[in-house]
């Protein structure tokens, strides 16, 4: 049993400490918590007075953690995680019938959103709320029940389950398979615009046009450097679907447009498997409601069906 004479550390000061320690910057912590850097400094001084020892070493514009700070930081993070989970449990009656999912904008727009009607038809009492953001979900502050991440599946403090693998393949509008410059073999790409997907979530194993062409022995016939570039996969897909050119696309992002006939894969052997995939992630120890479990079961079935049918 805790000693009733023990004083708890000030909660706001702990929040400032956790943010500053994680970012190694008082100014970045202030931006995250929507306060001034001076307020962060005041909170840190308050906590250092409570601890009776320095928690940061000031080195010009940056800060370093002292031994005491490094030892206590994991416990502080765990404590905030437990407090957050306690709050979620308290809110469960109010959250009933709602599932909040966080994922990248292109995945949300091109894979998840086109399928949501099927979920709502089979689960009429549950609303799916989608938060599309390029930044990695911070479960200590975000309202998401879980996130879908593109990567290799290893994330500190999070449990992860594979949703689906990913492959990359050239796709284009069906119109480019017709006419005098119709695409019939890879060498025909020399007559068409190459569209580049330069989204920030790139996998080092994911080929670009130069490496894809080189693997097929035609790098000397087709210039893989030319063509427009897009920093969102969905924009690259839309450019290809409009007939602008051919894009090396992630199959999952292109699948709905392929199923609708807006995109086709011109080469039977054009696919390349890559290391990254899509993962369902949530904080370890988090209780999942029946609604969340129903959504995860549904989304896994959708992913499995897509892999079976190849779109």
Would you say residue 30 has pLDDT above 60?
yes
pLDDT at 136: 77
On the question of pLDDT at 137 being above 90, the answer is no
Q: What is the pLDDT of residues 202-252, one digit of tens each?
A: 678 889 999 999 999 999 999 999 999 999 999 999 999 999 999 999 999
Tell me the pLDDT band of 6, cut-offs 50, 70 and 90. low
Quick check: 166 and 292 in contact, CB under 8 A? no
Model pTM? 0.70
Mean pLDDT, residues 89-116: 85
283-308 average pLDDT score: 87
Separation in Å, CA 115 to CA 97, 120, 236, 309: 18, 9, 20, 15
Cβ distance 168 to 207 under 8 Å?
Answer: yes
Q: Please give the pLDDT value at position 205.
A: 84
Query: Strands 158-171, 194-197: parallel, antiparallel or unpaired by DSSP?
Result: unpaired
């Amino acid at each position: 049993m805790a000693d009733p004479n023990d004083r708890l550390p000030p909660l706001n000061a702990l929040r400032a400490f956790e943010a500053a320690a994680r970012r190694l910057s008082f100014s970045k912590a202030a931006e995250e918590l929507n306060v001034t850097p001076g307020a962060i400094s005041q909170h840190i001084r308050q906590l250092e007075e409570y601890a009776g020892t320095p928690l940061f070493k000031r080195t010009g514009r940056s800060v370093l953690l002292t031994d005491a700070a490094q030892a206590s930081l994991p416990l502080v993070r765990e404590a905030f995680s437990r407090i957050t989970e306690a709050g979620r449990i308290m809110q469960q009656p109010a959250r009933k019938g709602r599932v909040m999912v966080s994922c990248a904008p292109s995945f949300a727009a091109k894979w998840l959103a086109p399928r949501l009607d099927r979920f709502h038809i089979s689960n009429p009492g549950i609303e799916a709320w989608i938060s599309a953001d390029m930044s990695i979900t911070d479960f200590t502050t975000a309202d998401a029940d879980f996130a879908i991440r593109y990567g290799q599946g290893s994330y500190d403090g999070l449990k992860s389950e594979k949703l689906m693998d990913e492959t990359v393949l050239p796709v284009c509008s069906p119109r480019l398979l017709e006419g005098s410059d119709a695409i019939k073999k890879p060498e025909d790409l020399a007559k068409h615009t190459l569209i580049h997907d330069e989204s920030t979530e790139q996998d080092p194993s994911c080929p670009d046009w130069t490496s894809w062409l080189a693997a097929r022995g035609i790098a000397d016939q087709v210039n893989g450097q030319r063509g427009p570039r897009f920093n969102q996969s969905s924009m690259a897909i839309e450019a290809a679907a409009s007939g602008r050119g051919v894009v090396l696309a992630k199959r999952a992002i292109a699948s709905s447009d392929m199923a609708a006939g807006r995109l086709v894969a011109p080469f039977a052997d054009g696919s390349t498997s890559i290391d990254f995939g899509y993962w369902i992630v949530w904080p370890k120890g988090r209780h999942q409601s029946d609604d969340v479990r129903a959504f995860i079961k549904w989304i896994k079935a959708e992913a499995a069906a897509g892999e079976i049918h190849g779109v």
